[in-house]
Amino acid sequence: MDPIFLYDTTLRDGTQGENVTFSAEEKLNIAMRLDDIGVQYIEGGWPGSNPRDVAFFDLAKRVKFKQARLAAFGSTRKPGTRPDEDNNLIALLETQTPAVTIFGKSWGLHVEEVMNNTLKENLAMIGDSVAFLKQQDREVIYDAEHFFDGYRNNKDYALQTIAAAISGGADFIVLCDTNGGTLPLEMDSIITEVQKEIINNSADSSQKDAIKLGIHSHNDCGLAVANAITAVHKGAVMVHGTINGYGERCGNADLTAIIPILCLKMERECISGENLKKLKNLSRYVSETANLVPLNSRPFVGKSAFAHKGGIHVSAIMKTPRAYEHMEPKQVGNKRRVLVSDLSGKSNVEYKAKELGVELGKNGFDSSKIASEIKQLEQDGYQFDTADGSFKILLEKFTDQFKPHFKLESFRVTIEKDKDQPCSAHATIKISVGDKKEITAGEGYGPVSALDNALRKALDKFYPDLDTMRLVDFKVRVIDGTRGTAAKVRVLIESRDQNQIWSTMGVSEDIIEASWQALADSFQFKLANQEKLRIENSA
C-alpha cells in the first residue's frame, strides 16, 4: 500500500477557529514540533493575507526542517489577471517554500454568485495558476474547495475543475468538504468518479501514477475524521487536518485521532512508532500555546481517553487491560488512569494506591474500608476522580503515612475596595515547619492569590525551589444550590511544574476555607515529590 502523507494546517486553518491565535514565533515553535513527530507537510499560512504569516515565513527561512516540507497557502489568480502579475501568487513564491497549496472553486454557486465570475474563466484560473507555479519548480497541491457541494450541484463542472488542475500539472488533488456536510456513505461513489477522471485526463500512465489524491474535511456534522478515514480507504494518500481539530466553526479533521487510526488500526505507513508516542505531548503543547484548556474526552490523547471509573471495569483491566481498552495507551504517549469515586470498589482503590505509591493495610485501613470512607466523603461533596493530588494525601492520612512538610497555625485574609479602584486582597499567614515558625504577608488580585503569595514567602525560607511550581487552573463548584450563599462549594486547583500536572481539592461552606484546603494540598504534593526526587538523585 502507498504511504500516507500527513498535511498539517494547524498554523493556517486551525487559527481560523474561535479563540485560536498564534504569534509568528509560536507558529514556528509548533512547526518544529510537527516536524519532530514526522508530519510530512506543514502549511505555514497565507502570506498574501496578513503580516503575521509573512513574518512566520521569514523566520522559517532560517530553520532547516528534518523531514517536513513547508507549504505556503493561497488562491488561484484573480479573474482577468496574468499569473506572473498576480500579487497573491508572487507572495507565495517569495516564501521560498518547496511546496505551494492553492485553492480554486469547484461549486458554480461560488463562481457565479459569490465571485461574479464565469465558469469558463474559473477553469482557466485554476489551470493557469497551477501551471505557473509548476514552472517555478514548486510542488503544487491543489485544494478543490467546496468540491463535494459542487459535485452534488453540478457533477460535470466539478470534475472539469479537477481536470483543469491536472492539466496544469498539480502533484496532489485534494478534495475539500469545506462546509463539512458530506456523509461517509457519499465518499465512496464520489471518490471513485474522481479517480476515473484522473485516469481519463492523464496524458500517459506515468502522469496518472504521479497524481495523488488527498482529503480535506471539516467537522460540521461531527464526521471529519470518519470522512478522512473513508477517503483513505478509497485511495486518498494525503490527509489534511489540524492538531486537536482546531478550525473554523466546528473545526477540522483532528490529526490526533487520524494519525493513530492510520498507524494502528489501518496499518498504513504514516509516522514511526517512536514518534507516535509523542502525540499526547504534541496535543497538549498546541493547546497550551493556544491558551485553550485541553479536552479531556479527546480520543487517544485526552486525559480521560483511558480512564476507568466503574469498579467492574477496573477489576477487569487489572487482570487483562484489553477487556476495556482498544489499544495500549503508551502507544500514543498516554497512560491508563483509574478514577476513585462513589462508583468505585476496592479494585479502584488498590490500583490507584499502587499507581500513587501508597502501601495499603496499615492502621487497619484496607482497600474495602477506604472505599467505604470515600463513598461517604463523596456524599459530602468531595470528588476524587478529578483530584489525584488530594487523593494521594488522603490515602497517606488513612494509613498513617502522611508526613506534612508544613502545618498551618493561622491565616487572615482581608479584602479592600475603594470606590474608584478594583478590589485588592492581603493575607497574613503563620506556619510551622518542624519546630520553627514563620509569619509572612502577601497581596494579590484576590484572596486565593494573596494566600498563595503569602504561603510561598513563608515556605521559601525552608524550601527554596518552589518557583518552578505555578497554579494553572482554579475552579469553584456549588454543590447544593438550594442553600443559597450557605451552600457547600468544591474548589479544584490544578498546578504544574516542569515535570508534571496535578490536581487538588477542598470542600467547605466557606469558599476561602475550601480554597485553602486545595492550595495546601497542592504545596504538600509538590514538596513530597521534590523530596522523593532528591532522595532518588542522591542514591
- pLDDT tens-digit map of 415-457: 988 877 788 899 999 999 999 999 999 998 889 999 999 999 9
CA distance 271 to 257: 13
Residues 198, 234 contacting (CB under 8 angstroms)? no
Supply 335's cell numbers: 497512560
**How far is Cα of residue 125 from the mean position of the Cα atoms in its chain?**
37
Q: Which pLDDT score, from 0 to 100, does residue 364 have?
A: 65
pLDDT, averaged across the chain: 89
Q: Which pLDDT score, from 0 to 100, does residue 261 have?
A: 98
Burial class (CB in 10 A: 0-12, 13-18, 19+), 64: exposed
CA distance 411 to 346: 38
Residues 342, 359 contacting (CB under 8 angstroms)? no
248: helix, strand or coil: coil
Q: Which residue has the higher pLDDT, 234 or 195?
A: 234
- Which residues, 6+ apart, have CB-to-CB distance to 186 below 8 Å? 148
Residues 370, 360 contacting (CB under 8 angstroms)? yes
Outline where DSSP puts E strands in 284-382. Answer: 307-308, 337-338
Pairing of strands 69-75, 337-338: unpaired
Query: Which of 54-63, 82-91, 310-319, 399-408 is predicted least confidently?
Result: 310-319
Residues 217, 181 contacting (CB under 8 angstroms)? no
Mean pLDDT across 363-379: 75
Say if residue 203's pLDDT is above 60.
Answer: no
Q: What string of DSSP letters covers 347-365?
A: HHHHHHHHHHT---SGGG-
CA distance 312 to 315: 5
Residues 211, 194 contacting (CB under 8 angstroms)? no
- Which residues, 6+ apart, have CB-to-CB distance to 289 below 8 Å? 22, 26, 29, 30
Residues 248, 253, 254, CA angle at the centre, nearest 5°? 105
Say if residue 385's pLDDT is above 80.
Answer: no
Q: Which pLDDT score, from 0 to 100, does residue 186 have?
A: 93
Query: Which of 102-106, 393-397, 407-411 is predicted least confidently?
Result: 393-397
Query: Which of 7-16, 31-40, 171-180, 384-393 is predicted least confidently?
Result: 384-393
Residues 493, 522 contacting (CB under 8 angstroms)? yes
In this structure, the dihedral spanned by the alpha carbons of residues 266, 270, 276 and 279, taken in order and rounded to 10 degrees, is -100
Mean pLDDT across 370-393: 79
Say if residue 284's pLDDT is above 90.
Answer: no
Q: Which pLDDT score, from 0 to 100, does residue 148 have?
A: 97
Q: pLDDT per residue over 219-248, tens digit each? A: 999 999 999 999 999 999 999 999 999 999
Distances (CA, A) of 455 to 24, 167, 186, 466, 521: 38, 70, 61, 11, 12
Neighbours of 435 (CB within 10 A): 5
Q: Which pLDDT score, from 0 to 100, does residue 202 have?
A: 59
Residues 228, 217 contacting (CB under 8 angstroms)? yes
Say if residue 14's pLDDT is above 80.
Answer: yes
Mean pLDDT across 166-183: 95
Percent of the residues in the chain that have a pLDDT greater than 70, as a whole number:
93
Q: pLDDT per residue over 332-369, tens digit each? A: 999 887 776 555 567 777 777 787 878 877 666 677 77
CA distance 345 to 374: 10
- DSSP letter at 252 equals B
Q: pLDDT per residue over 150-163, tens digit each? A: 999 999 999 999 99
Supply 518's cell numbers: 486545595
Distances (CA, A) of 444 to 281, 376, 441, 516: 32, 35, 10, 15
Neighbours of 214 (CB within 10 A): 27
User: Minimal CA–CA distance to 387: which of 521, 529, 499?
Assistant: 521
Neighbours of 123 (CB within 10 A): 20
Q: pLDDT per residue over 305-339, tens digit each? A: 988 877 677 778 778 888 888 999 999 999 887 77
User: Minimal CA–CA distance to 41: which of 195, 227, 174?
Assistant: 174
Mean pLDDT across 160-178: 94
The confidence band for 515, taking pLDDT boundaries of 50, 70 and 90, is very high
| Residue that is written with C-alpha cell 474547495 in the block | 145
431: helix, strand or coil: strand
